[in-house]
Structures are given as structure tokens and as C-alpha cells.
Amino acid sequence: MRRTFFIAVYDRRPGDSNWDPRADLDRDESVTAFDYQILSDHFDQVGDE
């Protein structure tokens, strides 16, 4: 996932424009700093590592 994509959907929820569930990494139905932290923690990892 690209950070630019994540920024475009940040602070979105189902029903909002630009909502994309792929950015809701913690599956709480909102794209927040918690999702960004998950993305940052795993940035540049590939596969099941």
C-alpha cells in the first residue's frame, strides 16, 4: 500500500467519499492513526515475514 493512497483515505469511514476498506488495517471501520502505525511498522515488508 502506498502512503499517498493512505493519506487520500485518512479519516474516512464507510459511507464517506473516498472510503476504501483496504486502508482500514485494524478493521474498526475508520482510517486513523492506528492504521497508519500498522502501515509504518510493516512498510517495505513483503510476504509472510
pLDDT in tens, 8-34: 999 999 999 999 999 999 999 999 999
Which tops the pLDDT comparison, 46 or 33?
33
37 and 25 Cβ atoms separated by less than 8 Å: no
Domain-located, residue 49 = no
Least confident of 1-5, 14-18, 31-35, 45-49: 45-49
Total domains, the chain: 1
Given a cut of 80, whether residue 39 has pLDDT beyond it is yes
pLDDT at 48: 63
Domain-located, residue 30 = yes
Domain-located, residue 29 = yes
Residues in CB range of 32: below 8 A, 6 or more apart: 10, 11
- Nearest to 15, CA basis, from 31, 26, 2, 3: 31
Domain-located, residue 27 = yes
Domain-located, residue 36 = yes
Given a cut of 70, whether residue 1 has pLDDT beyond it is no
Domain-located, residue 47 = no
pLDDT at 49: 53
Domain-located, residue 48 = no
- Label each residue of 1-49 as H, E or C: CCHHHHHHHCCCCCCCCCCCHHHCCCCCCCCCHHHHHHHHHHCCCCCCC
Q: 24: domain range?
A: 3-42
